[in-house]
Amino acid sequence: MKCIVLAAGYATRLYPLTENFPKPLLDVKGKSILDWLLEDVKSTGMVDEAIIVSNHKFYNIFKDWTDKADNLSGAMKLTLLDDGSTDNDNRFGAVKDIAFAINKCQLIKECNEDEKNDGVLVLAGDNLLDFSIKGFLDFYKEKRATCIMRHFEPSLEKLQRTGVVEVNDYDKVISMEEKPAKPKSNWAVPPFYIYGKDDLPVIVNCVNDEEINLDAPGGFIEWFCKKREVYAYEMPGKRYDIGNRESLEWIRENY
């Protein structure tokens, strides 16, 4: 399996800390956020390449990191891409960066030619988990269709700021809504996805569709789940979204 890490954002809410430095490489207890994520991905033994999508502004900083990432080399190849954006105003957005990586690395062709690469794991480069991603990968192997994660969220305020999903008794997604005023469930959706190889062309072909919210992966899933099968994995632990200085300081103290 291939893994795409979305790391091309500008993290304006963390300025000035991230004004000239990428959020995924911020330190958390001696390792970068990206190190924590990819060390777990590598430990599963199920991913043979991690593709990090950077913007142009921070590309050289990520290049220095990849050159020194000896602990991630070996069985899992590291590939770094520059999406060409230079600031928050001309950034691609999540879905276009996913499509960019699929095209640039010829993942549709690779998945069709190599049965071991039957899907693509997509991770937000600024989130951390307190459980291994392996359970999610095993869930995908069982369902053989595009999968998302879900966690129970009791707070109405937080549900109104994220994607919310309805599922049936077999974990199949019935509906998905991004930032709903009136959430239909308490299942919140974090930015972790596995796209089946047959669904990769759908991502590539939709990037010019103005009816789809392409800025957030959840907006795409809201549209996508009406057309294809999607299953939602119930997270066995917590995820930590590092969105501002307060959340960064908390994770540095408690992770």
Please say whether the beta carbons of 2 and 114 come within 8 A.
no
When divided into structural domains, the chain yields a total of 1
pLDDT exceeds 80 at position 18: yes
Token pair 């911020």 is found at 26
For residue 12, give the amino acid letter.
Answer: T
Beta-bridge partner residues of 175: 166
Residue 81: phi and psi, rounded to 5, are -120, 150
Averaged pLDDT, 192-213: 86
Domain that holds residue 86: 2-254
Name which residue leads in pLDDT, 219 or 170.
170
User: pTM for the whole thing?
Assistant: 0.93
Q: Is the peptide bond prior to 201 cis by the omega test (within 30 degrees of 0)? A: no
- Quote the CA–CA distance of 172 and 119 in Å, as a whole number: 18
Token pair 């979204």 is found at 241
CATH number at residue 171: 3.90.550.10
The pLDDT of residue 103: 93
The pLDDT of residue 249: 92
